Structures are given as structure tokens and as C-alpha cells.
Structure 1
Amino acid sequence: MLLRLTIRDFVLVDRLELDFQRGFGALTGETGAGKSILVDALAFVLGERADTGWIRAGAERAEVSAEFEVADSSAVIAWLRELDLECDDGVLILRRVVDTNGRSRAYLCGSPVTVQQLREVAEALVDIHGQHAHQSLLRREVQRSLLDEHAGLMPLAEEVATAWRQWREAQSQLDAASAGADAIIQEREQLEWQCRELSALGVSADEWDGLNVEHKRLAHAASLADGARFALGILSEEEGACEGQIDAVVRRLDDLLAYDAGLGEIAAQVASAQTELAEAVSALRRYADRMDLDPQRLGEVERRIEAVLSCARKFRVAPEALPALLDRWQARLSALGEAADVELLAARVASAHKQYDAVATRLSKSRLKAAKELGDAVSRVMQQLALGGGRFEVGLVPVEGGASSGLEQVEFRIAGLAGSEARPLAKVASGGELSRISLAIQVVTAKAASVPTLVFDEVDVGIGGGVAEVVGRLLRELGQERQVLCVTHLPQVAARANWQWQVAKSAQDGVIRSRVETLEASARVEEIARMLGGVEITEITRRHAREMLGGGE
């Protein structure tokens, strides 16, 4: 629901901060006081086209922000997550600015967004109904969703959409296979011989590195053996070798320890070197014993390396990439094998079409029943709203071949207002009639519809008396389900509100400004009395106002 609206330098408003309540609220005031300015400000922050004419005279820019409680709106929260946005404590803040150059900027939770993104999230937050306001109920997709939600058909509608996607995907695969059958056969034949060649080579993911290591060792076997023998001679086997020299040093230091114990640490270090040298000499002997020249094995390794390099050059990849290349080709070959099976694909298309037709037919039957019930219910409410003779219908227009939304389009129609023939809602109703028809639809579908805040502007145009009382009663009933704000000049409507604001103009230093006041009990009596008419408000008028307010309890 809408929690707060903050307005800066918007038309006649310099600074205004409004805290909204739950239920049904009425916005009243003298004609020309600026009641519609608040609706325009709300529409602006919700993504309405920016207009420099909205900037208050003398100001550099107009700014409006709106705070919404969205903790219970999983759809809005999910939408925000897709944009990597988060709202604090379940409160979403929308902000919009327009400057005198006509440049408009939009923000969600402090982050810049496009106006289109602002509109997208706004559609899930507020619906404005009025003669000059955007009407979501005129859009066919909204009409369809409203019917399906009201009838509890959303799960079935989603099932239809899924079946449609599966059918179309299967058909696309069949079309591609049929159109490119020759190309598929050619590609498959090429992949088959390529896979045979790589499979015959049988190179594994780690073999290439092992071959290179082994080749380097075999190719330099003579040098390695000579080096090992040279090291053994210097360290141990030749006259004056290191090993014998160190042994002599160890013995001499051991003799000198009797004269100076301070040589103990040095003697220990030399003895440690003697031990490590002996281990190194032993390891060198073992290495030299194993180091035999093997020209045959060297030839085998070189031939294997050349085979791998030749294959890698042919397929233009690095030698180590050959195993992964074979995996990709085998996967592609498997996919082509399936894609080339036109009969199998055709069978899948038929099965998917059958599944779609089955669930779509179930949805159509359910929609047909729900359309009749919704049409009758809205028609009954319309009779109470000075729309006598008008009949509301929910038409189901067949869609050839079906669509992701089902076998038909949903179309709201009205009959009896401009002729007997039922025609689309957008082509029949005037602004005032459209507002009242929307009110009737919203009242009937209140528990199913998802938009939590409704704004009605001019719903009482051309009505009065008992019909006005009905409008007030219906708005109050609607306020039990959702948050409702109504701009009205009828006391019968305002008296039914749970809370009420009064808009008035004031002049300060020659500048006209609009101000909004929250009305308490006594102030509401005065405002309702003013709305009842007459230049002078009498006690009788006040008594009548109190009676009307009492009737709204």
C-alpha cells in the first residue's frame, strides 16, 4: 500500500508531505483548489510522461517521491531482485524529478532507473482510474489476468503457457530439421570421420604432457648418464673425492674436541653434511644404474608425438585440446542424430500439440463459465451506478492456432450504453462511465486483483442522490480489501470514507499555493456540510452532515 507521498515545487504545491492510511480515503475541496494536482503528482512519480508545466513558477525543478509497503508483494520483491535492488524494511521508495530543461530522472530505492522500469513496478503498486488517467483495465492482457485471477485459473494458465512453449520449441526443431536435412547429413558425415580419427588416436587429457616429459628424458639420456658419473667421481670415487675429504675433517674435529668443546656445534654441522653427502652419493648410484640408453623407446615416443601433432595441425587446435574437441564433436553428433530423425521430431510435435490442446481446452471451458459469472456480477453492480440498461460482458475471442495465453483473447465489453450491441469497453464508455464501470469491476474482483492501491478520480461525474450513496458504499467495501483514494465533490461519497483530506488554496506574498489538511471529526462535519451546498452553513446542514458521517460507520 501507499505509505507516503512527498511533493516539492509541483504546480501550486511548494512542499507537501502526506501520510496515507489503510481503507477508503476521500480527497475533497473547492473546485479549482488543486485536488487533481495530487493525482497528477502520483501519476508523475509512477512514470507518467514528464511535463515542464508541472514545475512550480520560480522553481528550478519539480520532485515527487512515493513510499510503498511491499513486504507482502512477492512479485515486486522478485522484480527488484532481478535488477539487483533491495528495499529497506519492506518499503519501496519511488522518486521522480523533472527540471526546467525538460530532463527527467527516475530512482528506485535511491538507484537510478529508466522511466520504463519505473512504470513496470508501478503497475503492480497503483491503479489510477479517471477520465484522463491511464486505464489498465483497457488492456487485453490485464483483462485476461483479471478474469483468470478472479476465477482461480492462474495455475492452469501457467500450465497452458508452458505447454505452448514446449510445442513451439518442438515445432522449431522439426522445421530446422526439415529445412536443413541435407546440411545435417553432410555435417553428420564429416563429424563421424573426424570422431573416428580422434578416437583411433586415443590421446588422453594428460598424455601430451607425459609424452613431452618422457621424450626430453630419453633424448638426453647420454648427457644424463655422463653427468651422473661425473658427479659420482667428484663426490666419492676419484682420488681426493669430496666424501673422503669430509670424512677426514670429521675425524680431525672429533680429535680436537678434547681440547675445546666449543668446536662441538661446528663438528656436528660437518657430520650432518657428511651424512647428507653419503645419501646423495647413494641416490646418484641408483640413478646411474637405471639410466640406460633406449633408442627404441625414444623412437616410439617421437612417433607418438608426431601423430598427435599431425592431428592437432589438421584440426587447428593445440595438442592438449584434442580430447576436449572429441567430446564436443561427439555431443554435436548425438544432437544431430536426434535432429536428423524427422519422424521422431514430428512425433514430438504431435505429442506437444496434443498436450497444449488438452490443457488449453480445459482453460477455455473454465474461462467460459467464469466469464458468464463475472459478467452477471458486474452488470448487477452497474445498475446501482446510474448505468441502468448497461450490461457487462466478458467476450472470448478465438485465436486461430492458439497462443501462449490460450485458445482465445479475453475482451471486456459493454452493451446498452451506446446501442444494444456489445462493444469493447474502450470504444463505448465515456470518462465518467468508464470510472464507474471500473469501480464495478474492481468491487467484484477485489479479492482476486493484485494491485493494492486504487485511485478513483471523477468516478462521481454526472451522478448524485441515491447513486452517489451507492458509490460511497461500494468504495468503502472496496477499502476493506485494498487501499482506496477517491477525489470527489459529492458529500455522499466523502461521508463514507474512513479518512478524509481537504485541499484548499491560499495566497502568501501574492503567490497562490495549494495545501492539504487531514480532517478530524469536527472538521469533517464542516467539510461535508460545505459540500452539501449553500452559501451559508446552518446548524441544520451540520446536523445533516453528522447524520451522513454516522451512516458511514
Structure 2
Amino acid sequence: MLVDISIKNYALIENQHLSFNEGFNILSGETGAGKSILIGAIGLLLGEKGEQEKIRTGAESASVIGTFTINSNKAAIQWLRDHDIECEDNNVIIKRVIKNSGRGSSYIQSEPVTVKDLQEFTGLIIDVHSQHSHQSLFNKDNHRKLLDRFGGCDDLAKRVTASYHNVNDLRTKYNDYLENQDEYKKKYEEQIRLIKDVEITDIGQDEERELTQERSILLRGEDIYRTVKNITDISTTKSDSLFGLSTVRQLMSKLVDIDQTFESLYNRYESSYYEIEDILENLKTINIGLDFSPERMEFVESRINSIHGILKKYGPTYDLMMENYNTAKQYTTEYKDSRHQQLELEQEISEAEEELGKIARLLSQKRKMAATELELQIVSNLKQLGMEKVEFKIEFSNKMGTTGKTLCGPLGYDVIEFMISTNIGEPLKSLKSVASGGELSRVMLALKSVLADSDDISTLIFDEIDTGIGGSVALALGKHLKELSKSKQVFSITHLATIASFAQKHIKIEKEVKLGHTYTKVRELVAEDRVEEVSRMLSGTSNDESAINHARKLILENSQ
């Protein structure tokens, strides 16, 4: 509940402190006295926009501080824990400051918070209904929200929303896959051709270089053969140079036997001799292995052309070709895996859709059960508020696709609308087309009253919801608010004396001019001051004796 509020330099309020009761608090005052200023100050605490124009003339800033008790409000306590804000003795102090510079600040328990945070937290502890907010009943989506709140369906609705988005994400992923499938398949086929070409050609890493060398040999094969043969022929005759070198080797060996100083020269000579001998043997082997056939030349040329073709297509170097080959192998593997993933994704979508339908059907069942009870309670409250002939129903319909199939949206299958008939014989119609402003205010009050028992919000503020009513309806409305205040802290800003007479605490807002400046003053009314104010609300003046007597009687009868 709202324990107290301190307002400084806000609009026409210079410095004001107010304390409030747990039960039924009435705020009244003449038109233009500043009732909207007080509501605006409370609105600041609730996270409404802080306008520089609201700062009192001559002041640099305006501030509003409110003390709230949250008691057993589990949602509010958990919110504070989630934001690492301590709460001592269930008391929470909220402060809001607006400055001429355009900058402002918000605090919960001296901890700076954002306006969004402020809105989130105060939305858990206080609920405001103004004379215009009943227009929200024209929005069918609000009907669904109110029903879910009453029936305790919010958590289940959140599960449906999460499941719906999961299905949508899976479908998007699947559609993206299908949309690019032709491109993926085309690339897959290209990669398969690359792999086959490279594997069929089967190029060795140094094969091109070796074949190029062989072709060079084949092109000058006969010259090479004759030259090598001449060299080897010379080495096989006794008169050739190798034979002479062998004779020299033998003679040098004798020199070593005579004198060891010749040994190093002999070793050098012997090493050179064996090297020359090995070279000659290799030349003989080359000649033996030479193939000068046209068939071999044709094969070498063909193979080199094949290698050049594949490298031109997938290279141009062997290493780059093999890199592209390995990349293609990886892509084809991933493509095959993706086909498998497609089947898994289809299965996942099917299971997710089944789960969504299951939760959504459960939500619909729970809503329909809650709707029956809500209808009964709303009708009961509306009859107490003077709408004796009222009929109120909650209509369910389904979203339909173009094929006639029922669709599940992010909030389930249901399209929910409140329907009302205010006179016997009149058919049920939408609230927008049937109810007057006064009737809508009572419908909203009936809803607020019913919902008050289904949440932990402890403070309800009604800003002139009595507009357009009077007489017995006003009396019924006052009784209803008084009854509601037994379980909730209720504020009502009213211009009706009948409703004001039910107050447990009556606060008057009035203007005062002092030293050429206008101020809005707020004070609690007790005893005869309260009688005078109710009298003024009855007759327009506080001096009418009959009005004073009537006011005293109303207060006596209704404030018990």
C-alpha cells in the first residue's frame, strides 16, 4: 500500500506531505483545484513521463518521494531480489526527480533505476484506473489479458508464446534451407565432378615435371643414344682413356709401395677413378632403358595434356588443385549431412507443432473454465452497481487460415471478446457498440474488483470513474468501493458527495493565492471540515443548512 507521499515544487505544489490509510481514501476538490496535479505526482512514482513544464515556476527541479509497504507481495519481493535491492521491514521508498536541464533520475531504496524498471516494479504493487482508461475495454486483446489474469493463465500463455516462437524459428530455418536448396544441390554436383576428375586423372605430385623431362629426352633420344654409346664404347677398348687411367692407377699404387708420401695423391686419384667408372656404368643403364617408340611418345604427350587440362580447370598448381579437391570432399560430406539434418528438422518441427497444439488446447480449456466463473462474478458485481438487467458473456472464436484450418497464434487458438447486454431482450453485443461511458466505468470497476482477489496488488486508484453517473448508481458505486477497500487500499478521486461520504480518510485539494503566487494545498478533512466539503459537493456551497444536514446524515450512514 501507499503509506505516504512527499511532493516538492511539482506544478502548483510547493512542499506537501500526505499520509494515507489502508482502507478507503477519498480525494475531492473544486474543479481546477489541482486533483490532476496530485494524480500526476503519483504517476511520476509509477514511471510516467517527467515533463519539465511540471516543475514549479522559479524552481530548478521537482521531486516526489513515496513510501510503500509490500508485505506478502511475492512478485514485488522477487523483483527486488532479482535487481539486488534490499527491502527492510517490507518498506520500499521510491523517489523521482525531474530537472530544468531535462535530465531526471529515479530511485528505489536509494538505488538508481531506469524508468522502465520503475514501471515494472510499481506495476506489481499499484493499479491506476482513470475515467478514460475504460476505453481499453474496446481492445479485444485486453479482454484476453484480463481473462488470463483472472484464471491464472499467464504462465501457461507464456509457455504457448515460447512454444509458438520455437515453431516459427524452426520453420524459418527449414524454409531458408529449402529456399537455397537448388543452389546447394548445384554446388554439390560441381564438387562431385571435381572429385571424380581429380581421382580419375590421378596425378602424382611430381608427375608433370618427370614427364616433361622424359618428353625432352624422347625428342632428342637418338642423339642421346649415340653419344652415350660412343662414350661407353670408348670405355670398353684397351686403348681408351679409361684403360689408360686404370694403368696409371696401378703405377701410382707401386709408388705408394715405394714411398708412403704418395698415398694421399693415390687416394685422390683412386676416388676420381671410381667416380668416372660409376658415371660410365650409369650411362650404359640409361641407354638400356631408353624407349624411343612412337607409342611411348604419344602416351607422354597425352598424359601431359591431361595434366595441363585438369590443372587449368582446378589448379593452376598441383597444391591448389589438391586444396580444392579436399574442400570439395568436405562440402559433399556436409551436404549429405545436411540432407540428414533436413529430415531431423522436419521431425523436430512436427514434434514442436504437436507440443504447441497440446499446450494451446490446455490453455483454451483453462480459459473457458475461468470464463464461466468470471462471467458470474462480473454479472454479480454489475448488479450491485445498479445494472440489474445486465447480461455478460465471454465469447470464444478461433483464428482460421485460408484453408479453413484453425490456426494457433502466439497466444493460443482463442480470439476472446467480452459481450454485454444492458437491457432485457437486447442481444449480446461488443462493449464498444453497447455500453455508455458510465456503464463502461462500472464494467471496468467490476473487473478490477474481481481481479483484486486474484493478484497481490494492494493499492487501487480510481480517478473520477464516477463521471456520468449519480443517484442510486452513485450510492451503489460508493458501497462497492467501500467493500473493495476491506481487502485493498482504495483511492477514489470523486466529485460525488455520495461516494465521498463512504471515505475512511477524506483529503481535500484546494488552491490558495499568497503574495501573488498560486499554490495547491492538500489537507485531511476531519469532523465539521469534512461535513462542509460533502455539503459543498452536494449543493455547490458549504453554507446551505439543508445540504449540511444531508451531508452529515450521509457521512453518518455510510462511513460506519
Q: TM-score, normalised by structure 1?
A: 0.63
3-state SS of 1:129 partner: strand
Q: Distance in 2 between matches of 1:23 and 1:502?
A: 17
3-state SS of 2:408 partner: strand
Structure 1 partner of 2:13: 13
3-state SS of 2:502 partner: coil
3-state SS of 2:67 partner: strand
Structure 2 partner of 1:538: 545
1:469-495 Cα offsets, whole Å, 9 max, x none, are 100111112112222100112222112
Residue pair 1:496, 1:549 contacting (<8 A) in 2 also: no
Residues 214-233 of structure 1 aligned to structure 2 (within 5 Å): none
Structure 2 partner of 1:496: 502
3-state SS of 1:340 partner: helix
Structure 2 partner of 1:452: 458
Q: In the alignment, residue 148 of structure 2 is paired with which amino acid?
A: D
Residues 348-359 of structure 1 aligned to structure 2 (within 5 Å): 348-359=348-359
Q: Distance in 1 between matches of 2:139 and 2:121?
A: 17
Q: Does 1:518 align with 2:531?
A: no
Q: Distance in 1 between matches of 2:163 and 2:118?
A: 32
Residue pair 2:533, 2:542 contacting (<8 A) in 1 also: no
Q: Does 1:106 align with 2:106?
A: yes
Q: Does 1:474 align with 2:480?
A: yes
Structure 1 partner of 2:74: 74
Q: TM-score, normalised by structure 2?
A: 0.63
Q: In the alignment, residue 541 of structure 1 is paired with which amino acid?
A: I
38-47 or 463-472: bigger deviation: 38-47
For residues 422 and 38 of structure 1, do their structure 2 counterparts lie closer, same or farther at Cα, with a shift above 3 Å needed?
farther
1:221-257 Cα offsets, whole Å, 9 max, x none, are xxxxxxxxxxxxxxxxxxxxxxxxxxxxxxxxxxxxx
Residues 87-126 of structure 1 aligned to structure 2 (within 5 Å): 87-126=87-126
Residue 550 (structure 1) shift: 3.4
Q: Distance in 1 between matches of 2:500 and 2:551?
A: 14
For residues 46 and 139 of structure 1, do their structure 2 counterparts lie closer, same or farther at Cα, with a shift above 3 Å needed?
farther
Q: In the alignment, residue 406 of structure 1 is paired with which amino acid?
A: G
Structure 1 partner of 2:60: 60
Q: In the alignment, residue 348 of structure 1 is paired with which amino acid?
A: E
Residue 343 (structure 1) shift: 3.1
Residue 431 (structure 1) shift: 5.3
1:332-370 Cα offsets, whole Å, 9 max, x none, are x99x95983433332332233223212312321332343
Q: In the alignment, residue 467 of structure 2 is paired with which amino acid?
A: V
1:129-163 Cα offsets, whole Å, 9 max, x none, are 12356977666565433312322434543553454
Residue pair 2:501, 2:554 contacting (<8 A) in 1 also: no
3-state SS of 1:461 partner: coil
Residue 377 (structure 1) shift: 3.5
Structure 2 partner of 1:130: 130
Q: In the alignment, residue 62 of structure 1 is paired with which amino acid?
A: A
173-182 or 66-75: bigger deviation: 173-182
Residues 265-284 of structure 1 aligned to structure 2 (within 5 Å): none
3-state SS of 1:72 partner: coil
3-state SS of 1:486 partner: strand
Residue 531 (structure 1) shift: 2.9
Structure 2 partner of 1:306: none
1:154-174 Cα offsets, whole Å, 9 max, x none, are 454355345435544554564
Structure 2 partner of 1:381: 381
For residues 134 and 414 of structure 1, do their structure 2 counterparts lie closer, same or farther at Cα, with a shift above 3 Å needed?
closer
Residue pair 1:435, 1:459 contacting (<8 A) in 2 also: yes
Residue 18 (structure 1) shift: 1.4
3-state SS of 1:406 partner: coil
Residue pair 2:106, 2:115 contacting (<8 A) in 1 also: yes
The alignment-based identity, stated in percent, is 33
Q: Distance in 1 between matches of 2:390 and 2:490?
A: 25
For residues 433 and 67 of structure 1, do their structure 2 counterparts lie closer, same or farther at Cα, with a shift above 3 Å needed?
farther
Residue 39 (structure 1) shift: 1.0
Residue pair 2:386, 2:472 contacting (<8 A) in 1 also: no
State how many pairs are aligned: 413
Residue pair 1:443, 1:477 contacting (<8 A) in 2 also: no
Q: In the alignment, residue 517 of structure 1 is paired with which amino acid?
A: R
Residue 79 (structure 1) shift: 3.4
For residues 388 and 526 of structure 1, do their structure 2 counterparts lie closer, same or farther at Cα, with a shift above 3 Å needed?
same
Structure 2 partner of 1:32: 32
Q: In the alignment, residue 480 of structure 1 is paired with which amino acid?
A: K
Residue pair 1:339, 1:345 contacting (<8 A) in 2 also: no
Gaps of 5+ in 2: 193-321, 324-329, 401-406
Residue pair 1:525, 1:546 contacting (<8 A) in 2 also: no
Structure 1 partner of 2:534: 528
Q: Distance in 1 between matches of 2:108 and 2:434?
A: 37
Structure 2 partner of 1:404: 410
Residue pair 2:134, 2:440 contacting (<8 A) in 1 also: no
Q: Distance in 2 between matches of 1:388 and 1:483?
A: 27
Residue pair 1:500, 1:524 contacting (<8 A) in 2 also: yes
Residue pair 2:532, 2:542 contacting (<8 A) in 1 also: no
Residue pair 1:526, 1:542 contacting (<8 A) in 2 also: no
Structure 2 partner of 1:260: none
Residue pair 1:7, 1:64 contacting (<8 A) in 2 also: yes
RMSD: 4.0
Q: Distance in 2 between matches of 1:87 and 1:23?
A: 24
Residue pair 2:382, 2:446 contacting (<8 A) in 1 also: yes
